[in-house]
Amino acid sequence: MDPILTEFSLLGVTRPIGGYGLAVTLGILVSSAVAARAAHRAQEDVGATIATIGYATMAGFAGAFLLHAIVEWARTGDPLAILEQGGLVFYGAVPTAVAAVVIAGRAFGMPWLKIIDLSVPGIAMGHALGRIGCFLGGCCFGAEWDGPWAAIAIHPLAASAHPSVPRHPVQLYESMGLLVLAAIFTFVKPDRVGDGGRALSYVALYAVLRFSMEQLRADTVRGMFFGLSTSMIISLALFASAIVWGLRIRRARAAA
Amino acid sequence: MVHSPGLVGIGSITLGALSFCCMVAGIFLVWVPFLGAMVGFLAPVLALFGIVLGGIALSRARDGGHENESLAIGGLITSIVAFVPSILVAVTCSMCSACWTGVILTPHDAGPRAVFPDAGASTWVPPSMPPPSVLPGPPAWPPITPPPIAPDPAAATTEPTTEPTDGTEATGTAPTTGTTLAPGSSGPALPPPPLPPGPNVRSH
């Protein structure tokens, strides 16, 4: 794996193309396309869905960058540390993107919960592509392990190459898990589980997946609190929230 | 105030084009602190706003009998096409520029004095470099000398036992190496074959 996939030249100036950036871009495109197609099939307003996706993408990037900045600030004590070590945290994107969908959905007069439900397989696919980008970039790396499919990063730009030892390809594990989730939710239609049921199921299952993957990760530089990483704590909170919210929806449906 | 889908579509196309311009500027302005990062990160934001406007234009065009739908689709395509390279440039060139900006902002670096006079005197001390003559150079290789050619032991020890008188080849213990003796001479006529190269010969 190589963080720099290739290079391009423009008017004599050569710049690199990173694997992480390409994977994230592909992930956004795939998830947006899947969501727009699902909205078209559900006979929702495709234009308004695309506009909502645009707002959600902007808010998601802002939230992911903000959480990364907060974590880096807490870790280094320097608010400008984010400038020297860029990055994104997926969990930061979740609340801001959901908030953007809620606000935009209400502004466009769309059922925002249904839009989120329709977007779930695309979100999982895009996230899986993003994790492949993590593998290419050498971030979010796994613990040291000398197994048959261990990965060794040797490029100096890859964080997992310091030290360059065989590690669990935990990014690929999570990518595969997300693809499985995408396949599951492609066949689970939203109308079978009610509005919000598919999104809440995805949140709960992803929290379980992420919590288990965190056991194999070794980038403890993100910060540990009470023996748990930041993402483990967020996973626990998300899982509990999804279960509670799901039970409330179920009771409301039963009462109706 | 509700704008017509045509106007929103034109806005979407304009934002897509602006995003493309910012992306190109971000490629060339990597080494300019602040400006390089700002322009590079602005490009995907503009493209996303173009996508949003394109979506709104498409929604309004379909609500209004597909009028100006082509403008909306054109704006969407322009913005999406601009989004892909702009996000790639943002996560490579603009991140690099942001790092450079971070270096400039770091108070203990030598750079900020020209950019931020309020940062005070720099406390950064450049590492003292030894003069080049002190620096260790590459190891001196010993001169390559060919191995000495040993005298042919057969020629040195073999002397003709009988001098030929009739011009025929000398008889006696003929060297087994094939060296022939010149008629009427005691030494070998041809030099011995060279020895194979020794271990000091390097191949390139």
Q: Which of A80-84, A102-106, B17-21, B169-173 has the lowest mean pLDDT?
A: B169-173
Q: In whole angstroms, give the CA distance from residue A40 to residue A247.
A: 30
In chain A, what residues touch B89 (CB-CB under 8 Å)? 15
* A171-205 pLDDT, tens digit each: 999 999 999 999 998 887 766 667 788 889 999 99
Q: Which two tokens stand for residue A235?
A: 């996973």
Whether residue A33 is predicted with pLDDT greater than 90 in this model: the reply is yes
CA-closest candidate to residue A7, choices A18, A184, B95: A18
| Cα A249 from Cα A243, distance rounded (Å) | 10
Which of A18-22, A24-28, B17-21 bottoms out in mean pLDDT, i.e. has the lowest? A18-22
State both tokens at A110.
């769309």
pLDDT of residue B54: 92
Angle at B162 between CA B156 and CA B166, to 5 degrees: 120
The answer to whether A209 faces chain B, any CB pair under 8 Å, is: no
- Classify residue B186 by burial, with Cβ atoms within 10 Å: 0-12, 13-18, 19+: exposed
For residues A154, A156, A162 and A167, what is the CA-based torsion angle, rounded to 10 degrees? -30
Give B135→chain A minimum CA distance, Å: 26
More confident residue, B194 or B49: B49
DSSP B94: I
Question: Which residues on chain B are in Cβ contact (under 8 Å) with A17?
Answer: 88, 92
Count CB neighbours of A182 within 10 A: 22
- Residue A229 φ/ψ, nearest 5 degrees: -75, 165
Here the ipTM equals 0.82
Structure confidence at residue B154 as a pLDDT band (50, 70, 90): low
Q: Is residue B114's pLDDT more than 50?
A: no
Kindly give the residue spans of alpha helices, DSSP state H, lying in chain B.
5-28, 35-63, 69-89, 95-105, 112-115, 153-157
CA dist., res. A205 & res. A227, Å (int) = 22
| CA–centroid distance for B10 within its chain | 43
Q: Which of B24, B44, B52 sits opposite A55 (nearest CB)?
A: B52
**Does B93 reach chain A within 8 Å, measured CB to CB?**
yes
Question: What letter represents residue B91's amino acid?
Answer: V
Lowest mean pLDDT among A77-86, A206-215, A230-239, B24-33: A77-86
Confidence category of residue B39, pLDDT binned at 50, 70, 90: confident
Chain A residue with CA closest to B90: the answer is A21
What whole-number distance in Å separates Cα of residue A39 and Cα of residue A235? 28
- Sort out which chain A residues have CB atoms less than 8 A from B87's CB and list them: 21, 24-25, 28
Nearest Cα residue in chain A from B106: A80
Q: Is residue B50 over pLDDT 90?
A: yes
Residue A20 sits at φ, ψ, to 5 deg, of -65, -45
Instruction: Tell me the pLDDT tens digit for each residue of B67-111.
Output: 788 898 999 999 999 999 898 888 777 777 666 666 666 655 444
pLDDT at position B179, please? 47
CA gap A160, B41 in Å, rounded: 26
- What is the structure's pLDDT at B142? 66
CA distances from B80 to A67, A224, B20, B21, B86 (A): 26, 39, 10, 14, 10
Say which residue the tokens 């040993």 belong to.
B150
Average pLDDT, integer, range A129-138: 90
d(CA A207, CA A242): 9
CB A13 within 8 A of CB B76: no
Contacts of A52 in chain B (CB under 8 A): 55
Q: Which pLDDT belongs to residue A68?
A: 82
Share of chain B above pLDDT 70, in %: 45
Higher pLDDT, A125 or A83: A125
CA dist B198 → A22, B106, B140 (Å):
55, 59, 20
Answer whether B62 touches A (CB < 8 Å).
Answer: yes
Q: Hey, which residues does A164 pair with through a beta bridge?
A: A161
pLDDT of A205: 94
Residues 6+ apart with CB under 8 A from B173: B158, B161
pLDDT-based confidence at B136, cuts 50/70/90? Answer: low
A153 neighbors A138 (Cβ within 8 angstroms) = yes
* Predicted pLDDT of residue A1: 65
Indicate the average pLDDT of chain B: 69
pLDDT of residue B198: 53
Question: Which among B55, B91, B103 is the nearest to A18, CB-wise?
Answer: B91
* Per-residue pLDDT at B178 exceeds 70: no
Percent of chain B with pLDDT over 90: 20
Q: What is the pLDDT of residues A95-120, one digit of tens each?
A: 899 999 999 999 988 888 888 988 99
Find the angle CA(A100)-CA(A67)-CA(A238) to the nearest 5 degrees.
Answer: 70
Residue of chain B minimizing CA distance to A27: B84
Task: Answer whether A17's CB lies under 8 Å from A6's CB.
Answer: yes
- Does residue B188 register a pLDDT over 70? no
pLDDT band at A26 (very low <50, low <70, confident <90, very high): very high
Hey, where are the domains in chain A?
19-255
State the Cα torsion B175-B178-B182-B186 to the nearest 10°.
-20
- List the single best residue of B52, B71, B97, B103 to mutate versus A (max A Cβ within 10 A): B52
CA distance A81 to A75: 9
Q: Closest Cα to residue B187, out of B147, B135, B144, B152?
A: B152
> Would the pLDDT of B160 be above 60?
no
What predicted TM-score, i.e. pTM, was given to this entire model? 0.71
